[in-house]
Structures are given as structure tokens and as C-alpha cells.
Structure 1
Amino acid sequence: MASSLYLVVLVVGLCAPIYCASLPSTPNRGTICPSPTKATPSSQVSSSNTDFAFRLFRRLVLKTPGQNVVFSPVSISSALAMLSLGARSATKAQLLQGLGLALAGTPESAVHGAFQQLVHSLSAPRGDLDLKVGSALFIRKELRLLAEFLDSVQRLYASRVFPADLSSPSAARKRVSAYVEKVTKGKVVDLVRHLDPLTAMVLVNHIFFKAKWEKPFDPAETNKSSSFLVDKSVTVQVPMMHQMEQLAFGLDSELNCSVLQMDYSGNALAFFILPGHGKMRQLEEALSARTLRKWSCSLQKRWVEVFIPKFSISASYDLEAILPEMGIQDAFDNNADFSGITKAQFLKVSKATRKAVLEVGELGSEAAAATETKLELRAKEGPAHTVIRFHEPFVLLIVDKVTQNILFVGKVANPTKS
């Protein structure tokens, strides 16, 4: 009988204080503009990760119509790429092709080398930005891993390895859940609700994100009850934050949407994308690495008066029901070949679970007090400005400037649903 791999792709995004960026009145030059230099494995992997992010996003919105969507594509890509180290034959090919990592002319070793650079960069100190990524393997004590696989996951993906008594599902679940709770600072509790007695290995991948914008919203400017149009028949009341600053902004006439870029301290940025009324599906279908590069290079910095709801959303998905639709099939059935992990047992992935939490709110009172006067002056004395209200469903992307990878993708369909 087959033993199982339990893949826990765990994502926690906490963007608690939200700020506005103060930018000069010059054309935007985003850090994810196309580079004139020759493509490198790292840039190719970044582009592949972005396209995978949007392909998965489209699957998730179709599976959960009208619901909030939030996940970390870089976390999922990293976990599956790490799993491919132990895959062989068609199982490996499907993992790499499904992730868009079967790059012409690029050796597989270079792809994993690019992920090694990615993990290292995301783990580096970022000052005001609290970004923590990591992975861990919990392995049945009697399971003998191949030395090459063990060395690769530790060297390339900085994964921690723990022996565990997985033959006792209850005890193992508690141990894994305790680890998850610790690395997510208590944001995710009791994620692993069931472990099969045949489970041979549990792979946990997590990302924690907490960041500040360069200029804070003033809580005194927040409208405590503002209308948000969920759909044609449902309107909810939400706290609506308000800010006026010089920000990178543009209208994409091709996709019929407005795009606002706001920068974090610590080399990260966010795109808030508001489709024209009734044009969300058009936007969802068009998102790609090319679209993201176009926005990064073409947005213009101008005075913008922005209204953004204060919200906290979360979502959980069973990826074993979605990834096969994206070409990653054998890993989850009896055709699985993970003989690069161990020769002693037949393994397949029995479960691939992920959860994400994303919170957007104001800064605490100390920082708000420091900006109160400036906000008042600019609101009254500033030149003619653009007004954008995120008062109906919108898309949110959080991007790492250094690695040019998407940390989070979110669709805020109803900001009152946590």
C-alpha cells in the first residue's frame, strides 16, 4: 500500500499598518521593468513564477466565485519546485512544466540555483519590512531518505528536517501544528486537521509578511462606514481609509482598469487594480508577467486622492484538487514517482493544503500623529488631482522589488468577510 507525502503550503501575509508613498512628479520606473540585459535563470524563474501565479489565480476564482481569494504564489512555487528534486520521470516533468519551469536551454540545476538565490534574498534582513520564508520536512523516523535529496533540500531551499513519529497521526498533527503556529507568530493555528496513518513525510512551506508604507494613513481620516458594492444586489458597509499623495497611477484602456502602485519601506510594492464596472473577468483573464511589466514601466506619478477599505481576509484551498487541472497529475495518484526521495517505499502526495491571511489597516497613533499636519496641508493646497475609490471588488498584488517575484495575490470581493 502506498505511503503518502503531505504537502502543507502554508502562507501567512500580514500587512497590518498601511501607508501611502511620497513620490516625485516624474514617470514611474518600477523595478520590474524589462531589463536590457540578457535573460538569466533568475529572471526566467521570476517570469515563470508570475505566470504560474496568475494561472493559479484564475483557477481559484473559478472554484470560488464571488469569494475573496488570497495566496502566496512564490511560496507554492518554491514548495513544488523543492518537491521536484525528489521526483522522477513523468512526475518530475509535470511538476516542472506545470510550474512553467521547463525552460528551453536552461539546465534543471540552474532552475534550482535560481530558487536558492530567491530563498536567500527573501530571507535577508529588510529593515522595516518583516519578511520571513522557510520550509520544513517532518519525516517518519524509519523512512530512509536518499542523501542527495536531503542535501539538496537543505542546501538549495534552506529546509529544516525533523524526524517525527508519523505513525501516531494525532501526536504528529499536534507537533506540525505547533511548529506552524510558532513560525507564523500565532496567526495560523491548527492548520493540519488530519494526517493519514500512512503519511511518510510532511512538507511545510511558510511565508510571513508585515510591512509599512512610506507615508501613513491618518486614522482620523477613515470613514467608519462607507458603501462597498459586492455585486449588483449586495452592498456592505466598511471602514474606508483616505489619503492624498503623489503616487504612481495609470488607466489601462486595453484592460479597462485603473492601477495604483504604492511602495513599502524595505523593497516591496503593491498594485491595487480596480477593473471597470463589470470588467473583473476580463482583468482576471488578462493578468500575466507581461501585463505586470507594462504597468510597472508605464504608470505616471501624480497627485492621487485614494479611498481603500480597511479589511482582513483569509482563504484556504486543497490544491490536490486544483493542481492536476494545471497539468500536475501524477504526483497525486498511483503513477507518482518520487524514487529520488527514497528507494524503500512508494510515495505519492495525498494532500496539498494552503492557507493565507491578509490584513490591511491603519498605522498606530504614534506615526499617525507625525503626519497629520502634512496631510491637512496637501489635501487643501495640492494641485488638481485624480480620485480613485476602491468601492467594489479589486485585485491586490504584493511584489518583492529585489527578486521581482509576487509575494501575494489577492482578490477582495467582500472586505467584510474574513
Structure 2
Amino acid sequence: MGPGNLHFNESPIKLDIFCSKMVPSLYGVLFAVGLCAPIYCVSPASTPSGYPHPSSTKSTPASQVYSLNTDFAFRLYRRLVLETPSQNVFFSPVSVSTSLAMLSLGAHSVTKTQILQGLGFNLTHTPESAIHQGFQHLVHSLTVPSEDLALKMGSALFIKKELQLQANFLGNVKRLYEAEVFSTDFSNPSVAQARINSHVKNRTQGKVVDIIQGLDLLTAMVLVNHIFFKARWEKPFHPAYTRKSFPFLVGKQVTVRVPMMHQKEQFAFAVDTELNCFVLQMDYKGDAVAFFVLPSKGKMRQLEQALSARTLIKWSHSLQKRWIEVFIPKFSISASYNLETILPKMGIQNAFDENADFSGITKRDSLQVSKATHKAVLNVSEEGTEAAAATTTKFIVRSKDGPSYFTVSFNRTFLMMITNKATDSILFLGKVENPTKS
């Protein structure tokens, strides 16, 4: 009659689920998600074509998922800012939402409704089948191989050998979310933990390690979702022009020294006079784009409150290609969150208390999510881990009598987004408060 646990790990998200019912053994399920994004610097294509752009298929399940994922990303971002004031924020919105949608496959009644409504879906207008169809398209789109871009999102279920799962849940997880399924012996938690961590480490090319910690005998299933991103900028920053010690303002008075990348090139750029911010678009080779958003001093909160899918569309219409002298820190940051304290504030409550209904996963035991941890890692550098000598030759130092240019220096708190152009989805979202805090 005691509780078991389900762990939900998202980049990594870790979901501990408690089980209780008319059986002597109580099981737990862990949901983990691994996330990594080593990043390189690039300039945009001739026509600004990043996120977002109006879609001609707005009524399709996929386009609905993409749009609502964007608004969910910003709602979750605002919650994370409240939980961790004056700290770096970084997470993968698409990984969190995909993980929750997959979890909803095993939820029933109010538990299911809260998860899907928490993601932003109006179940009166959008059938559940359409929601999962949209996520199916998203998952598939993020697994299409590319020569220029390493982008891979995947899911895996590690299931206790004795656990009897509902056939529909298992089938839908495989069909809709392309999840791999592994029968696992959880009687030796340390061995099971090592196997799961090894799987995630391999899928993320060694970047996400030890995603699962503290596995115990109550664990009956571990759901893992991981996302890995690696790309090179179209126009890399030349390392020779990186200033090794450059002042960066943290808060209102504290200054730290950071390596500051520098180049003069043509980039898509916009000034939002209403929100008092600069928006810089920099393209990666392949189907991804980075946005750097720099608010005026004292205007970060105003910007954060206004972030929405509509705001991004407004920016996309105002971006224009122009000569820019840009200064961006070279940095590496990571962030971890206990989502079990955050998601209930976004309406996803029953999953984390005694009212949880995950009978769609297994009828034998009642499951309750007790722990949900998210961890994400970001690295931004001149060229990336696959720096090639040929790319450095593209850097051209402009003479003083060359074209006029606008100078923008990201030498104080700024926002960064990495988006996938094929799906208009925000892969990663963060705020760099202090680039020296890894």
C-alpha cells in the first residue's frame, strides 16, 4: 500500500512515480531526458528565414503543436525565471513538451486533461489524436539526417521485466514517439542505472552523462527522452579576433571578464522600439537558427513578460539584413530544475499527487509522479567542435572606409533561442545572466 516512484528526466527530466494499490509490490517509473547543444556562430542567409514564419498549414495538427509549443516554452521560461532569479536559465522546451505529451499517453481522466491543457491545448477544439499526430510529425522531423546539422531527439523505455504494461500504451509510444523499448532488471539498481546512463551518453555523443542518479528498488520503468544538437555557424567567428578579457555586466553593478567573440558581417537584425530590444539572427549550416535578444538596461522584465509566438512573428517581419559589428561572449552554461515544483503551478497538478491516474500505463499499480528534474547544457564558441581551417578564411576584416555598420555588444544579460526552421520549434531557450557561471 506504500508508494513507488516514477522518475521523469528531461534533458535530463526526471520523473519519480509512486505506485499504490491492492498489491504488495509497489513500483516506480523514471522519466529522463538528456539534452546537449554545443553551438557555433553563423550569419544568416540572404533572406531572413529563421523562426518564426507564417505557415500555410496553420490548421494541421503539426502546425498547432508547433505554435502551442512556442507559447508553452515562454510560459515555462517565465516560471523558471521566478524559481531561479538572477541566475542563468537554459532548457529545451521541445524536449519538455514532447516528454509530457508522451507521458499523457498513459494518463487518464483529470490527470490526462491537466497535462494536455498545461501544454496549451484546448481539448474541445483539438482531439487528443490530433495532438499526438502533431508530436509524431515533430519527432520524425527532428530525426531526419542532415549533412550540415547534427540534431537528434529520441525516446527509450527501460521496463522492469515483471511489469505488465498496457498494450495500447506500449504500441503508441513506439508508433507515435519512435521510442526504443528495453527489458531491464531493476533488482540491481546500480547496474540498471549504469545501463540507462550509458544509453543516453551514447545517444548524445558523450555530452550528457549520469542523467539518472539514485535509482532504487521501487523503480519499475524509466522513460528517457534525449535531444542532441551540434552545428556550425555559416560565418564563423575567427578565434584570432576573440578578445580574451572583455567586461560583462552582471546585474546592475557587478562586472565579470569574459572572452568576447567579434566580427563584422551581414546579419538579419531588428530593433523592437516597443519592447526596447535588439534582435540578432545568426544562421547555422543546416536547418537551424539562433536568435540573440538584447534588451535595453532595465527592460529585461518587460521583454520577458511579452514573449509569445506572436512576438516572434512580429520580429520575423521586421528583421532586415544589414552590416553588423557584433560582440558575443564565448561561454558554456548549464541549468537544472525540479519541475515537480514548477509544473503544478502551470496546471499540471494531479500527476504529482495522490489523485494521479496513470492506469493507461499499467492497471496493476497506481502511479504518481514525485520527481521531475530537467538539466540542459549549452556551449557557444567561434566555430564549434568541428572547427575547420577552411571556414576561418571566410572572415573578412572591414576597413574603416567600408560600408557603414551597426554595432551591438552582448555585454550584459541577454536571451538566446535556437530554433529548427523545418518545424518552427524552439529547441533551446535561455537567458545568459552570467556567462562565467557554468
Select 1:15's aligned residue among 35, 38, 52. Answer: 38
> 1:12 and 1:227 mapped to 2: Cα distance?
30
> 1:166 and 1:330 mapped to 2: Cα distance?
26
Q: How many residue pairs get matched?
A: 412
- Of Structure 1 and Structure 2, the greater helix share is in 1
CA contact (8 A) 1:306 1:389 kept: yes
CA contact (8 A) 1:84 1:92 kept: yes
Select 2:103's aligned residue among 72, 75, 83. Answer: 83
Residue 342 of structure 1 corresponds to 362
> 2:67 and 2:237 mapped to 1: Cα distance?
33
RMSD: 1.6
Q: Structure 1 residues 379, 61: closer, same or farther in 2, change over 3 A?
A: farther
CA contact (8 A) 2:36 2:204 kept: no
> 1:19 and 1:264 mapped to 2: Cα distance?
5
Residue 311 (structure 1) shift: 0.3
Select 1:330's aligned residue among 340, 347, 350. Answer: 350
> 1:133 and 1:183 mapped to 2: Cα distance?
9
Residue 6 of structure 2 corresponds to 5
> 1:322 and 1:151 mapped to 2: Cα distance?
30
Select 1:123's aligned residue among 137, 140, 143. Answer: 143
Select 2:85's aligned residue among 65, 69, 74. Answer: 65
Select 1:40's aligned residue among 51, 60, 63. Answer: 60
Gaps of 5+ in 2: 12-33
> 1:241 and 1:277 mapped to 2: Cα distance?
21
> 2:399 and 2:225 mapped to 1: Cα distance?
44
| Cα-to-partner distance string for 1:34-79 (whole Å, 9 max, x where unaligned) | 2355522111111110111001101111111111111000001001
Amino acid at match of 2:4: S
Alignment of 1:329-408 (within 5 A): 329-363=349-383, 364=387, 366-372=389-395, 375-376=396-397, 378-408=398-428
Tell me if 1:229 matches 2:249.
yes
Gaps of 5+ in 1: none
CA contact (8 A) 2:50 2:288 kept: no
Q: Structure 1 residues 102, 161: closer, same or farther in 2, change over 3 A?
A: farther
Identity %: 62
Residue 101 of structure 1 corresponds to 121
CA contact (8 A) 1:94 1:327 kept: yes
> 1:285 and 1:244 mapped to 2: Cα distance?
32
Residue 184 (structure 1) shift: 1.7
Tell me if 1:282 matches 2:283.
no
CA contact (8 A) 1:15 1:212 kept: no
Q: Structure 1 residues 112, 389: closer, same or farther in 2, change over 3 A?
A: same
Higher mean displacement: 169-178 or 357-366: 169-178
SS of residue matched to 2:159:
strand
Amino acid at match of 1:12: L
> 2:399 and 2:409 mapped to 1: Cα distance?
16
| TM-score of the aligned structures, taking structure 1 as reference length | 0.95
Residue 291 of structure 2 corresponds to 271
Amino acid at match of 1:7: F
Residue 174 of structure 2 corresponds to 154
SS of residue matched to 1:189:
coil
Higher mean displacement: 40-49 or 73-82: 40-49
| Cα-to-partner distance string for 1:182-204 (whole Å, 9 max, x where unaligned) | 21222122222212422221111
Amino acid at match of 1:75: S
CA contact (8 A) 1:249 1:302 kept: yes
Q: Structure 1 residues 381, 206: closer, same or farther in 2, change over 3 A?
A: farther
Residue 15 (structure 1) shift: 2.8
| Cα-to-partner distance string for 1:335-380 (whole Å, 9 max, x where unaligned) | 11011111111111222122111000012360354224xx12x354
Higher mean displacement: 42-51 or 196-205: 196-205
> 1:319 and 1:165 mapped to 2: Cα distance?
27
Alignment of 1:314-325 (within 5 A): 314-325=334-345
Higher mean displacement: 30-39 or 267-276: 30-39
Alignment of 1:246-325 (within 5 A): 246-325=266-345
Residue 20 (structure 1) shift: 2.6
Tell me if 1:177 matches 2:234.
no
Amino acid at match of 2:97: S
CA contact (8 A) 1:32 1:296 kept: yes
Moved over 3 A (4+): 28-31, 35-38, 378-382
> 1:106 and 1:247 mapped to 2: Cα distance?
38
